[in-house]
Structure formats: structure tokens, C-alpha cells
Amino acid sequence: MSQITSLFPRDWRNLHFTLIVFFSLLLIINVPRLNQFVSQTVVKTLYFPFFQLKNLFVEMGTISTENNLLRQKLAEANARISILQEAERENERMRSILGFEPPAGYSLLPTKVISVSYGGNRPVAAVINKGAHDSVSINQAVVNQQGLVGRIKEVMGDMSVVQLLTDPANRVAARISDTREMGIVKYRTGFGLMLDNFPVQGTIREGDQIVSSGLGGIYVAGLLIGQVEGVIRQPDEPFCEIELRPAALFSSVEEVFVLRSVNE
Amino acid sequence: MIRLLPYLLYLLLIAMHEVIWRDVTGLFFVALNLPAMIVAMVATYKSQTAAAWFGFLAGVVISASEPSLMGWHGILLAALGLAVYHVREKLNLESIYSKVLLIVGAVLFHNIFSGVINGTDRFFYTLWTFCLPSTAFTSVVAWIFFLFKERSVTAEKLKSVF
């Protein structure tokens, strides 16, 4: 017994050191599974929370980078979609233009609208990219695949100004497509496009198509102006008030045609 | 149990350094030897039993990824703690510089013997490229720590400078 106690000094301090050396030796001689157990315990209790934290930071960094990349790609995709949508719209317009035939004796000069000027809240004039150099001259009718748009009011070298039907100063001699009864189409501020000078005794219904009559020498006969939207017959008035829905959408004109006589 | 809490926190600090900070605190290719620095500091301020046990546990913690070297690292850091404690006791360190010098010795000791334990084949190359730069870097960090610990630098003093 005394031999055993002599191995462990009374001093607690030395017992501590002996224990440390003992545990170190146990770990050095690599007692089966002991090192593995200690290692796993240390990793699970001390390292694991920091591994998770590190992974979280790494993941956040990756997510942030990925997020920026995706945002960039999204912006690129949106831009591409906008371009494609614009191309699609242009394609649709071009398809509808393809089937558009000019009246007999006339040819179509395709032009692009480069600017639009407004009077109040509606467009009243448009500048197109063809002018005197392309044989455009004043008073030529301007149409698109929907119908009559206006007439050439001013001509420059490479551009011209189109007076739209929405300009109150523009008048078109017109007739009802079916009954051939006549009137004058003009734009009245606050009311819209109207058919004037149409007698109350005349035959007219909502939905009737109004076309140019050809009288007056500016507009070719048969160009679609619009449809009758409403007829108001005032008592004691010789003429009706006829509201029209224009065939052409003036707020979105982009491609128009100048009607040129083939003899010019 | 409460007395053990600071040591547990130091061990957590060492684990955190091993997992997260090692790359962040490294200056170019020079690594901070935080385990040796903490063991030396514990030995500077605490008892030799605490220094020895803490050194042993710190050695076990830093070699958790290499279980076969656990015992060697444990006994190395325990010996380091004891050595630092006895130098402290014999020399009765007072100034910050003497404490920093003690840290320099301790970290260099640990760096060299870690290399031996890990089986470095090019000893002098490792000494020049790793041991000495790491010792210098760790000593600077320890010096800054002692400046704050010994209240040579305080928040008030810093405010008065700026």
C-alpha cells in the first residue's frame, strides 16, 4: 500500500500533473476508440456550432452573389423581353399592312412617324420621315391599314407634316358607305370626330361606315374614316349630330402610307 | 463550476479561431497562434494547475481534427503553460514588455515543437517562413492585448488623442 501511495505524491498539484501526463500518454498510445471518442466529442461540442456559423456566412455570401447575378440576369431578360415584345408588335403591324391595297390609280409610299404634336390631349399633327425628295407633296392623303389618317400639310426635303383628322381645321367630304348619303367629317373639340351637315331626314344608324366621298379633290373616294357611334336628332334642327368612332388610332400611329397618284 | 466558465470560454474562443478566424486573422501567409497565446496568458495570470490543465485541454481542442496527435499537442501545451508559469514566478514580471517577451518565447516554443510533432521535413525553412513570422505577429497582438489589460491604453486616453 505504501508503494502505491508513494507513486502519488501528497501534493495535489503533483497529482494534477500526473493526471495530465497520464491522459496525454493514453492519447499518445492511441487506446482503441479513445482518441476517436475525444475527437468526436470536441468536434460536436466546440467546433460544430462554429462550423454551422461559418457555413451560414459562406451560404449568405453565396446567396448574396447569386442574388446579384440573378438580378442582373433578370434585368437582361426583361430588356430582352421588351425588345421581343416590341418586335412582336411590329411584326403584327407589318402583317396587317401586308394585306393593305391602295385604291386603283394610286400607290402607297410607306413612311414612319418620327414625332407627334398635340393640341390639348389629342394628337393633331405628325411628322413623317419622307418629304419632297420622295415625291411627297401637299394635300396628299395619308392612310394606314386601319383607315384615313390625315393629309400632307407641309413638305420639307426629307420630312413632311401630316395634318391628322383630329385637327379641327381638317375637313373631309364623306358619305355613308351603304346609303351614299353625304356630309362633312370634322373634329369638334370636346365632342370628338363628327359627321356634320347630315339632314335629320337622312337614313343613318349606329355602326354605319363612313368613307371619304372624293369630293373636294384632296381625299380619294372610299377611304374608311370611321363608324357611326351615336346619332342625335335635335327637334327644330335641320341637321343631326353624328358622333363617329375613327377607324385610325391617332394616339398610336407609327407606320403610315402616303397615297400618291400613279400619274404624278 | 462558475470558476471553470472563463476557461470554457477560452476553449470556445480557440475552437472559433480554428474554424472561423484562422483565415481572417492571418496576415498574408502568417497565421496567428491564438492557442499558444491564450495558454501563455492564462499561465501569466492564473495558477500552475490551471495553466497545465488548460494547456492540456487546449492541445486536445486544437488537434481534434487529427486524433492521433491529440496526446502530443495536449502535453506540449500543458508543458508550455507550466513553463510560462514558472518563468513568471522566477522572474516576477512587472512590465508589459517582459510579459510580451514571455509570450514571444512561449509562441516560438509552441510553433517549433508543433512543427516537430506534425513531422516537418524542412525544419529551417518552416522556422523562417512560418515559426518566426507567426511568433512576431502573435506577439504584436499580445502586446496590444497587454496594453489594454494593464490599462496603458484606455478609451479615455484614446479619446484625448483624437
Task: Give the domain ranges of chain A.
Answer: 104-264
pLDDT at A1: 41
Q: How confident is the model at residue A264 (pLDDT cuts 50, 70, 90)?
A: low
CB contact under 8 A, A20 and B56: yes
Residue A227 CB neighbours (<10 A):
17
Q: Name the domain count of chain B.
A: 1
Question: B75, A21: Cβ pair inside 8 Å?
Answer: yes
What stretch of H or E contains A184? strand A182-188
Buried b (16+ CB within 10 A) or exposed e, A4-25: eeeeeeeeeeeebbeebbebbe
Locate B141 and state its grid cell: 497582438
Which CATH architecture is the domain A104-264 placed in?
Beta Barrel (2.40)
Q: What pLDDT is stored for residue B105 in this prediction?
A: 93
Once rounded to an integer, what is the mean pLDDT over residues A182-190?
A: 88
Chain B interface with A: residues with Cβ < 8 Å: 11-12, 15-16, 18-20, 48-49, 52-53, 56, 60-61, 64-65, 67-68, 70-72, 74-75, 78, 82
Interface residue A15 vs chain B (CB under 8 A): no
**Alpha-carbon gap, residue B44 to B146, rounded angstroms:** 11
Q: What percent of chain A has pLDDT over 90?
A: 28
A25 touches chain B (CB under 8 A): yes
| CB-nearest partner of A47 from B15, B53, B70 | B15
Q: Is the pLDDT of residue A159 over 80?
A: yes
**What is the Cα–Cα distance from A254 to B5, expressed in whole angstroms?**
79
All cell numbers assigned to A137 = 407633296
- Which of B12, B15, B60 lies closest to A38 in CB terms? B60
pLDDT tens across A45-72, in order? 888 888 888 889 888 989 999 999 999 9
Asked if B81 and B54 touch (Cβ cutoff 8 Å), the reply is: yes
Shortest Cα distance, chain B CAs vs residue A15, angstroms = 10
The Cα A128–Cα A140 span in angstroms is 13
Alpha-carbon distance of B69 to B58, in angstroms, equals 13
Mean pLDDT across A32-37: 83
Give pLDDT, residue B79: 94
pTM above threshold 0.80: no
Give the pLDDT band (50/70/90) at residue A4. very low
Half-sphere exposure of A5 (CA within 13 A, CB side): 3
Kindly determine whether residue A39 and residue B70, on different chains, have CB atoms separated by under 8 Å. yes
- Nearest by CB to residue A39, choosing from B52, B64, B78, is B64
What mean pLDDT do residues B6-26 have?
A: 86
Residue B30 domain boundaries = 2-161
Inter-residue contact A157 to A131 (CB < 8 Å): yes
The pLDDT-based confidence of A10 (bands split at 50, 70, 90) is low
- CB-nearest to A42 from B56, B61, B78 is B61
Q: What is the mean pLDDT of residues A96-125?
A: 83
Whether B162 has a pLDDT exceeding 80, the answer reads no
Q: Which H or E run contains A111?
A: strand A106-119
